[in-house]
Chains A and B, each alone.
Chain A
Amino acid sequence: MSEETKPNEEFSHDDREPEVGDVAAPMWLMGMLIVLLWFGLMFLDRRAGGFDAKVYRPYPSLAFVEGLSVTDPPQISRGRALYMVNCAGCHQASGAGVAGQFPPLAGSDWVTAAKPDRLVRIAMNGLKGPIHVNETPFNEAGTAVMLSVGSDNKFNAEQMADILSYIRAGKEFGNGAPMVAPGDITDAMSAAEARGKSQWTEAELLAIPVD
């Protein structure tokens, strides 16, 4: 109690500003902050939906919402199922192909052509020899051969139309070409079925009009 009057006097004599010396920040604190930052970023990465304006809780990502909202036409979803079994092994699920060996389907000028007549023949009877896609050569050595996938599986016109619709109009490939109806490819299908299991070459295919 007796000290109550004293402190002010003591401090009032000292007019100096308080000063900070050089003190190193403790390393454990730095480490803890870094760990906290890491947890925070992990949390955002998992929960923030990529900061996309179209993603809200409880949806984890834009792809998830897209998968729920945009319902594919039935041809596309059936075509996807057939593609995954029969085509994705070489051309990849993304349609990107393998450089120099298996040509891409995504963005390919063969796929986006106005008429699917060449595509039907390739898918049914297969392809051998070198081929140019978007001016880029593939299979220059001519060693790789595309088998007669369609003939081997005895695809009918509906199944072929589903597959071609998927690679032309499926959103995974971004080709944006129109879908294919079974009625559009009856001629090409009968020609391909007659040909059986002998593969086409690029020169033979280019003789077939697609405009």
Chain B
Amino acid sequence: MNRGPLLFIGAFFALSLSWFAMILSPQLQIGSQNPADALDLGYRHPAPAPGDAQAGLQVYRSAGCVYCHSQQVQQSGIEFDVALTKAGIFTDDVVKEIMKVNPLLGGAVIRNGVANTNGFIFLRDVNRAEAAWAVDRVNKVGGNVETAVIPKPTGSDISLGWGARRSVARDYLYDYPVQLGSQRIGPDLTNIGNRRPDADWHYKHLYAPRSVVPESPMPQYGYLFEKRAKGAEPSADALVLEDSEAGHGDGGFEIVPTKEARQLVAYLLSLRNGPRIFETPMPKQSKPKTDAAPAPEVASAQ
């Protein structure tokens, strides 16, 4: 081998190139992100999960949930709605213009919408150029007319209800390790806290998945529960199960979630597809009644 140094340099170059491209450049790109202002809700996103939920992430990890569940909502495109937010003074001209923009709506609907104005959506599911064209047409009427373009994320995950928008790097700031997952044997869990806000449902589902989802292939996580003899009174947090669901015919026992089960459920309930931030244009969200961030309801911490 008379070209040892050359081979070494070649191998070193190839490996260091991959290090630069795959490690260093993403680190420079998104390595120093901070929680961002949620645009509508008046709090920083993401917020650290409550303590039980943080511990629950480790239970999630040790139970191997990540092998069948992903936590990343994908988005394939974006569509736009165009809304009239203020009709201004030349309402007749606005009506005429909207009739030209979207004749399919029909005159009565348009007149009614312009009269009520408040966010009257006169064009739906169009691309950006069409939305800009419609806005131009209507704005040209003048007289303080105001329109709004509403961006709407689209994609199969979003139409399945797995989230309102795609996941971005910022969403995972407080997850360690990040449980992205690559398999979808079960549904994506990014938004499970919104989709299934009921803690009791989760306990039942973990203990006996087919008692709540008959076609589920999920294994039973019985070891997260304690089976103990019934006392005179049932325990406050015992699962309410049919005997057949629990798989115990005699009925002399009750099933009580352990600490790990509570932490896991607290974690699942804390998983919510995030609010609108800069990276993810989407329809405005209505502000919750209280000023504080909507804390996940952790029903397990009784």
Contact = CB atoms under 8 A, between A and B. Distances in A.
Interface of A: 17-20, 51-59, 65, 68-71, 74, 77-78, 81, 158
B148 interface: yes
B222 interface: no
B78 A55 contact: no
Interface in B86-115: 86
10 contacts: A18-B1, A19-B1, A56-B279, A56-B280, A68-B78, A68-B281, A69-B281, A74-B86, A74-B146, A158-B144
Contact of A54 (B3, B77, B278): B278
A58 B77 contact: yes
Given A51-B25, A53-B169, A57-B75, A17 B279 contact: no
A20 B33 CA distance: 50
B236 interface: no
B76 interface: yes
Contacts of A52: 29
Given A18-B1, A19-B2, A51-B29, A69 B39 contact: yes
Nearest to B30: A53
Given A19-B2, A53-B30, A69-B39, A58 B78 contact: yes
B166 interface: yes
A18 B292 CA distance: 73
Contacts of B144: 74, 78, 158
A51 B33 CA distance: 14
B139 A78 contact: yes
A58 B78 CA distance: 7
A55 B279 contact: yes
Interface string B111-140: 000000000000000000000000010011
Contacts of B75: 57-58
B274 interface: no
A17 B280 contact: no
Interface in B32-70: 33, 39
Nearest to B33: A53
Given A58-B77, A65-B281, A71 B148 contact: yes
Given A68-B281, A77-B139, A58 B76 contact: yes
A71 B2 CA distance: 65
A59 B169 CA distance: 15
Contacts of B3: 20
Nearest to A68: B281
B240 interface: no
Nearest to A73: B146
A17 B1 contact: yes
B293 interface: no
Contact of B168 (A17, A51, A56, A81): A56
A70 B151 CA distance: 12
Contacts of A71: 148
Contacts of A158: 144
Contacts of B78: 58-59, 68
A197 to B, nearest CB: 23
A109 B3 CA distance: 66
A53 B2 contact: no
B139 A81 contact: yes
